Structure 1
Amino acid sequence: MSFAVMASPVGALTLVATAAGLAAVLWECDDGARVRLDHGGHDPDHPVLSAATAQLAQYFAGQRRTFDLPLAPAGTPFQQQVWAALRTIPWGETRSYAAIATAIGRPTAIRAVGAANGRNPLSIVVPCHRVIGSNGALTGFAGGLAAKDLLLGIEGRQRALV
C-alpha cells in the first residue's frame, strides 16, 4: 500500500492505494478503528494517488461530479453491496438509510446499512455524505457534521446544521 496526504476544504485527507486501486480516503480526525489498514509508504507520485488527488481537487472546486478511479475498498459482501448503492446516488441528491436498505433489497436492514455506511473507507469518492436521516437531518459522519454540510453545499444542497 501507498499513501499521500492532500489539503482540502474539509481538512487533510489521507489517500491510500493498493496495486488494485484506491483503498481509502481517510479524515484528519478519523478513528483508526473505523477503517483498519496499513497505510504503507508515502508515495504522492503513485498513479492512483495522483489521479485521486487531482479528481478530489476538481470536486472541491465544483468541477467534477463523478469520480473515474479504480476502487479497491476492503469489506464484507454486505458492505460492498451498500457501498455500490452509495455510488448510485447522483451528485447533489441525498438518500435516507431506509432508501438504501430498500435499494439493496433488504428493507429491514436500516441499522446494518447505517453501520456499513459508517465503515465506508472511500469517503467522498463513495458518497456516504449523501446519506441523511429519514427526517432530512444530517446524521453521523466520520469527517464530522460540518464536513458533511460543506460537501452537500459543494453539491448545491442548501443545508444548515441545526
Structure 2
Amino acid sequence: MKQLGFFRMIAASSLLAASTAIAQEGTQPRLPTVELTAGMYVIQAEVAQTHQQHSIGLMHRQSMGVNEGMLFVYQSPEIRCYWMRNTLIPLTIAFLDDDGTIVNLKDMEPHTERSNCSIKPVRYALEMNQGWFDQRGIKPGFRLRGIPPASGNGL
C-alpha cells in the first residue's frame, strides 16, 4: 500500500514538472504594459505579475523594440535571480527598490543558465535590450518613475 502512494506521488510530481515545461516552451503572449520613465526616456514595459508569467518571461522572443522591456512585479522583496535558458536576445536586467531606484544592473547572455542576482532584496526587476541603460548613462541609484504597486491586481 505504501508503494502505491509513493508511485502516485512520483506520477503527480512528473505531471507537474511536465506541465511546467510545456508552459515554458512557447513565447508568452504580450502582457499588459505600463509606461515607465527614466529621465527623458520613455519605456513601454510589459508587466509580468504571476508565477507563470515570471517563469516564461522573454523566452523564445526573437526581438524587442528599442524602448520596450519586461517588468517583473513580486509581492514581497527578496533576493531575485534570473537566467537566460531559452532566451534568444541579450538583455540587461535592472533590479529595483520599491520606489523604482536601481539597486544593481546585470548584463545577461542568451542561452545560459548562469544566475544573475540582485545584491539585496527587491520587489521589481526590469529587463531591457542589453546595453540600453549603459547607452543612456543610467546607473545604480537612478530612479525610474511609473512603477506600479505590487498588489497583483493593479493591471
TM-score, length basis structure 1: 0.29
Bigger Rg, which one: 2
More helix by share: 1
